[in-house]
Structure 1
Amino acid sequence: MKSDVTIMDFTGIYEKERFYRGVHVHWIDCRDIQGTNCYCDEEGEQALRRKIAPYSAEAIHFIDSGNYHYMTKLWTEKLREPFVLAVADHHPDMQPPLFQELLSCGCWVNGVLDGNPYVQKVVLLGADKELVAAVPEPYRSRMVAYEESQIAEGDRWESCFPKDLPVYLSIDKDILSPSQVHTNWQQGTLTFSQLQNVILELFHRCRVLGADICGECADALFHAADDKVILQDDSVNGRLLHILMALGKERKA
Structure 2
Amino acid sequence: MNRREPLVLDFDNSVGAIPGATTVALNDWQEAIRFGCTLRTFNRLRAYLDEQLPANYGTVLMGSGDYHHLTWPLVQRQRARGPFQLVVFDNHPDNMRFPWGIHCGSWVRRVAMLPFVTHVHVVGITSGDIGAKHAWENYLRPLQAGKLTYWCMDVNVDWAAKLGLSDAFRRFDDPDALTCAFVKQLKQAPQPTYLSIDKDAFSVDTARTNWDQGRLEESHAMAIIEALRGRIVASDINGEVSAYQYRTWWKRMLSGMDGQEPVPQSELDAWQAQQRAFNTRLLAAIAESSV
TM, length-normalised to structure 2: 0.74
Q: Deviations over 1:169-199 (max 9, x none)?
A: 0000001111222112110011111221121
| The 10-residue stretch of structure 1 (146-155 or 178-187) with the greater mean CA deviation from structure 2 | 146-155
Q: 1:57 to 1:163 in 2, by over 3 A?
A: farther
Distance 1:201 1:146 in 2: 16
**Structure with larger Rg:** 2
Structure 1 position 158 matched with structure 2 position 171: no
CA contact 2:58–2:235 (8 Å) conserved in 1: yes
1:1-253 alignment, distance < 5 Å: 1-14=2-15, 17-18=16-17, 20=18, 23-33=19-29, 34-41=31-38, 42-53=40-51, 54-56=53-55, 59-79=58-78, 80=80, 81-99=82-100, 102-114=101-113, 116-128=114-126, 130-133=128-131, 134=135, 135-140=138-143, 141-148=146-153, 149=173, 151-153=175-177, 154-161=179-186, 163=189, 165-203=191-229, 207-219=231-243, 223-248=265-290, 251=291
Distance 1:221 1:29 in 2: 23
Q: Deviations over 1:13-57 (max 9, x none)?
A: 23xx34x1xx21110111122510111332343224422453357
CA contact 1:40–1:104 (8 Å) conserved in 2: yes
Q: Secondary structure at the match of 1:35?
A: helix
| The 10-residue stretch of structure 1 (239-248 or 142-151) with the greater mean CA deviation from structure 2 | 142-151
CA contact 2:65–2:238 (8 Å) conserved in 1: yes
Specify every segment of 5 or more residues in structure 1 that has no aligned partner in the other structure, as ranges: none
Distance 1:129 1:32 in 2: 31
The share of aligned pairs that are identical, in percent, is 23
Distance 2:190 2:289 in 1: 19
Distance 2:191 2:267 in 1: 46
TM-superposed deviation, 1:221:
7.8
The CA RMSD measured in Å over matched residues stands at 2.4
TM, length-normalised to structure 1: 0.84
CA contact 1:60–1:211 (8 Å) conserved in 2: yes
